[in-house]
Amino acid sequence: MLAPEGKGWIDFIRATHAATLFGNGLGGLIQTTSTNQCKYWSRLPKDNSYLAVAIPDLRRILEIYGRDNASSIEIAKGVIWHSPGELFVSCRCKSALTKDHCDPVKTFSPNNLAAKLLPRGPLSLDNHGAYIFGYNPLFDWNWGDTGDPQEAGSEVSLPSLEQAVNNDSTKTKSSSSIEESTMQNLSADSSITSLSSETSRAATEDRIQKQYTVGIICPLPKEFMAIRILLDEVHEAVYTAEEDTNHYILGRIGCHNVVATCLPSGEYGTNSAAITASGMKSSFPKVRFCLLVGIGGGVSSDKNDVRLGDVVVSHPERNLPGVIQYDLAKALQNNIFELTGTLRPPPRVLLSAISHLKSDPQTDKSLAKYLKDIEECRNEYRRPIQDQDRCSGTHPAVHYGLIASGNLVIKDTQTRDRLAREYGAICFEMEAAGVMNVLPCLVIRGISDYANPQKNNVWQEYAAAAAASYAKLFLSVVKPLEDAEERGLTAPRKRKSSPAELSSRSMKR
């Protein structure tokens, strides 16, 4: 039976759905291979209800279930990893001044106690060692079978260290952490301590994945952040396909459960976008359409006076599907381009939603509200000063028309104007053609430059916020999937919001 002070890791086990085994000799599965280190902590001490977790497994758990915030580490749903002492310092038994031992034990805490904890210290998951979790006197709280812990007010002593190391001078505990050489040389049987309940969760994960019917892909992190700020709910992570390298945020916007991701840092273009979309499709097979949300270069026409900060949405024009791939065009005489491939148009349900928004007199107000939500959360997304563009309006206009997509960065005004003149393109970007070959897609781009040699980064954050705001507005009018197969599924499990998200939502109210 676990003592009250030793139950701190039970919520962690429950949140990660880890299988629990009890038996003799399990404390020796994780132990140091070094001979020059503290004998007491060479393996897990007995009678202390300790949990040892190999660092590779912690990395995996944090990737699947957690999030690393500036103020705390949410290792799993509703569970904070708390380190009362430093991570790795030499044990005091090695000191010439004292022969007592360190206390390297880390603790888990409910998310709602975060305000009572000291600020988090540095976290190292780079070495091949292990962390020990359980009771630490610097976090003197006792756990019941359920609910939050209660402050203990009494010390819990370690078992006699004389029995462990034949040293009768070791009687007190400390806030220091185990020596670096001890922890860095720990060797683990990862087949025992790793997540062992994957098979039993497979059916549940498959059901949960089917609930996400809308995908969102952002090429840049600054675009992805704007989307994350506008999520109405954030759900906990699920397993993804083995071949899928994407990292996802799951949540809800309006009545839609959405799965959102970003291209790998430093990658761009149609090829990377296609790989990202393919990964999403394999992990979330019920995604019925995708929104590609980000920034792009604009060009004005007689029909569309496109300005910096405006939003351009892909829309079929004439016999073209809404997006043309300019780097697949064939150059003819007299500098004329001829397209050699065709992309799929947006699904009919999305075009119907566009008609609804076009006719709504409140569209501008709703768009401005979502923009304000982003700006209040992050100052860098505010609108730049007016004298950096020829525009005079205070809110972004929304334009519907052709978007030119390809792997080439358009900075040449002659090429830009030629494509705009011959096909009516009003926006240039680099990922849409890759996504549309994989998933039904609508492209939403905030205008951050004019695709000319004078392009810079001044308007990028605001343009990203404008595109994200339109994406949320658009999803608010798209009909949810009416499928009998989906109706019987339970709602996705919510995850605790981060401090930034909570702050943003409190501002909204």
Enumerate residues 6+ apart whose C-beta is below 8 A from 365.
Answer: none
Place of tokens 């491939």: 341
Cβ contacts of 409 within 8 Å, gap of 6 or more? 430
Same domain assignment for residues 358 and 217: yes
The span from the CA of 18 to the CA of 15, in Å, is 8
Q: What angle do CA 81, 83, 87 make, to 5 degrees?
A: 120
Return the pLDDT at 360.
94
398 in the same domain as 327: yes
Does 108 share its domain with 69?
yes
Range of the domain at 81: 4-193
What distance in Å separates the CA atoms of residue 290 and residue 496, rounded to the nearest whole number? 26
Q: Which of 109, 104, 49 is nearest to 81 (CA)?
A: 109
> Domain check: are 80 and 222 in the same one?
no
Q: What is the CATH number of the domain that holds 324?
A: 3.40.50.1580
Same structural domain for residues 499 and 463? yes
Residue finishing a domain among 165, 193, 221: 193
Tokens for 474, please give them. 């658009």
- Residue 493, domain member (yes or no): yes
pLDDT of residue 172: 34
Q: 509 lies in a domain?
A: no
Backbone angles phi, psi at 405, to 5 degrees: -125, 140
b/e map 173-191, b = 16+ CB within 10 Å:
bbebbbbbbbbbbbebebe
With respect to residue 371, please indicate whether it lies within any of the assigned structural domains: yes
Distance CA 273, CA 309 (A): 24
Do the domain assignments include residue 372?
yes
Asked whether residue 209 is assigned to any structural domain, the reply reads yes
Q: From residue 462, how far is each of 3, 318, 374 by CA, in Å?
A: 54, 31, 9
Confirm if 272 and 264 have CB atoms less than 8 A apart: yes
Distance CA 95, CA 295 (A): 58
- Rounded (5°) CA angle 492-494-496: 165
% helix, strand, coil for the chain, step of 5 = 35, 20, 45
pLDDT tens series, the chain, 509 aa: 666 666 667 777 777 777 777 666 666 667 666 555 666 767 777 777 788 888 888 777 877 777 766 556 777 777 877 665 544 445 555 544 444 566 677 777 777 666 566 555 556 666 667 778 777 766 666 767 666 777 654 443 334 333 433 443 333 333 333 333 333 443 333 333 334 344 445 555 555 666 899 999 999 999 999 999 999 999 988 888 888 999 999 999 999 999 999 999 999 999 999 999 999 999 999 999 999 999 999 998 778 899 999 999 999 998 889 999 887 654 444 555 556 556 889 999 999 999 999 999 999 999 999 999 999 999 999 999 865 555 546 679 999 999 999 887 776 778 788 888 888 899 999 999 999 989 999 999 999 999 888 888 999 999 999 999 999 999 999 988 654 344 444 445 555 555 455 455 444 44
Do 257 and 153 belong to one domain? no
- Residue 198's pLDDT is 47
In a domain, 394, yes or no: yes
| Boundary (domain end) residue, out of 145, 171, 193 | 193
Q: Are residues 126 and 243 in the same domain?
A: no
Name residues whose C-beta falls within 8 Å of residue 100's C-beta, 6 or more positions apart in sequence: 92, 93, 169, 170, 171, 172, 174
Beta bridge partners of 283: none
pTM of structure? 0.57
Does the residue 23 lie in any domain? Answer: yes
Residue pair 204/227 in contact by the 8 Å Cβ criterion = no
Residues 254 and 119 in one domain: no
Are 321 and 444 contained in the same domain? yes
Among 296, 315, 477, 469, which residue's Cα sits nearest to residue 396? 469
Nearest to 245, CA basis, from 260, 265, 264, 218: 264
Query: Domain check: are 234 and 97 in the same one?
Result: no
Is 508 within the bounds of a domain? no
* 348 and 393 inside one domain: yes
Number of domains in the chain: 2
Of the residues 193, 222, 255, the one at which a domain ends: 193
Residues 343 and 485 in one domain: yes
- Ranges of beta strands (E only) in 49-208 are 51-54, 67-68, 73-76, 79-82, 107-110, 130-133, 141-142, 150-151, 186-188
Cβ 370 vs Cβ 230: under 8 Å: yes
Coil vs helix vs strand at 4: helix
The 3-state DSSP class for residue 408 equals: coil
Q: Which two tokens stand for residue 155?
A: 């010390």
